[in-house]
């Protein structure tokens, strides 16, 4: 369909809670196609519909490590296990990275593009990406949770209060 613009920090779609997809119709399939086209035009590992300005609960994840890409509609984290420190960036906040705490593993359920229920266990990087993309659906960006943010190739530009760390 089309490569869409990835909206940046400050765009209202990134702060809004996304709506559940009620039916997988032509409009939903067109959104999925645009999301895929846009995603594969980047070097990221995940993209959520709000990042292309659409507040629908759809994400695509591809770690680009040979695994099968994951397309999830209405994803929900059912279980969080353990903790890990994560260093993250975002296509909607280019040039900045931050440190935050994420689960070591998650169990995620949702629908695939055929409307079938699917379930995944994400560990390590996949857990981080599931959490990052599902946060976008809630209007949350990594920088909202980070305890330290820095500009690429620079020292930390923001050190947030210790209370953000768990």
Nearest to 146 by CA among 90, 105, 107: 90
- Annotated catalytic, 151? no
Tokens 């260093």 label which residue?
Answer: 87
Alpha helix segments (H runs only) across the chain? 26-39, 125-137, 142-145
Residues 142 and 135 sit within 8 Å (Cβ to Cβ): yes
Active-site residue identified among 116, 117, 133, 162: 133
Q: Which amino acids are annotated catalytic?
A: 133
């Amino acid at each position: 369909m089309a490569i869409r613009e990835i909206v940046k920090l400050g765009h209202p779609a990134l702060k809004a809670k996304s709506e559940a997809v009620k039916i997988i119709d032509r409009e939903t399939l067109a959104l999925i196609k645009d999301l895929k086209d846009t995603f594969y035009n980047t070097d990221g590992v995940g993209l959520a519909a709000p990042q292309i300005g659409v507040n629908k609960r759809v994400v695509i994840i591809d770690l680009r490590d040979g695994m099968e890409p994951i397309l999830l509609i209405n994803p929900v984290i059912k279980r969080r296990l353990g903790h890990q420190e994560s260093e993250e960036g975002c296509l909607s906040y280019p040039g900045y990275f931050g440190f935050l705490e994420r689960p070591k593993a998650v169990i995620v359920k949702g629908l695939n593009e055929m409307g079938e229920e699917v379930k995944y266990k994400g560990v390590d990087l996949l857990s981080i990406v599931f959490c990052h993309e599902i946060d976008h659906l809630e209007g949350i960006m990594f920088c909202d949770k980070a305890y330290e943010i820095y500009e690429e190739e620079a020292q930390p530009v923001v050190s947030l209060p210790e209370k953000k760390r768990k």
